[in-house]
Amino acid sequence: MSIDHGVGAVQSNGMRQVFPRASTSYTLTVRGPGGMDSRSVTVQVSSAPPPPPPASNTPRLSSADLLQQQAQDAFFDYDMSEVRNDARDALTKDAALLKQIFQQDPNFSVIVEGHCDERGSAEYNLALGDRRATSAKDFLVQLGVPADHLKTISYGKERPQCTEASEECWQKNRRAHLSPGQ
């Protein structure tokens, strides 16, 4: 018994492994006292599928985590609600972030919080915080952020970032802050 394509002689019982690189037809030829016989078989070789892409080691952040980690506060001058230049820069970056978040999570919503420093009455600061939140929201909407995904709330002076009685501390409290909606 022999197999062509360089395999050569084989035993009459048992098996022989072959490892072709491409699809190949093999012919087994048997010769004996009773005559000769041949049989052919084709081994189909297909290319291996491409390996799967490597697993990402960094988990995808939730929209809320993305907002909390990357959004920037917009700061305001004393007793003012107009968006100043540095706040424009922060809100412009926030607008790009929000568009990205809303594209991947269309049901996500954001609360624009208005905050004030401790000076002034609670009532006055609630109204001022509302104007600050509204100014920040309006600026974001002008940059193409969908208004129906934004809500405003004023916390006045009730949630300070800093509690020292200094201008540096008060400035940290005069802000619009973005937080995940419910």
| Domain presence at residue 56 | no
Read off the CATH number of the domain in which 101 is found.
Answer: 3.30.1330.60
Model pLDDT, residue 2:
78
Residues 92, 164 within the same domain: yes
In eight-state DSSP terms, residue 118 is: S
Do the beta carbons of residue 87 and residue 176 sit within 8 Å?
yes
CB atoms within 10 A of CB 74: 27
- Alpha-carbon distance of 124 to 75, in angstroms, equals 18
Do the beta carbons of residue 28 and residue 39 sit within 8 Å?
yes
Residues 102, 15 within the same domain: no
Model pLDDT, residue 41:
85
Range of the domain at 121: 63-180
Residues 128, 95 within the same domain: yes
Model pLDDT, residue 61:
83
Residues 82, 117 within the same domain: yes
Residues 112, 176 within the same domain: yes
* One-character DSSP codes across 37-75: EEEEEEE---PPPPPPPPPPSSPPPPHHHHHHHH---EE
Residues 31, 120 within the same domain: no
Model pLDDT, residue 174:
96
Do the beta carbons of residue 45 and residue 24 sit within 8 Å?
yes
Residues 33, 74 within the same domain: no
pLDDT average per 10 residues of sequence, the chain (182 residues): 77 75 84 86 80 74 92 96 96 96 94 95 96 97 96 95 90 96 82
Number of structural domains (the chain) is 2
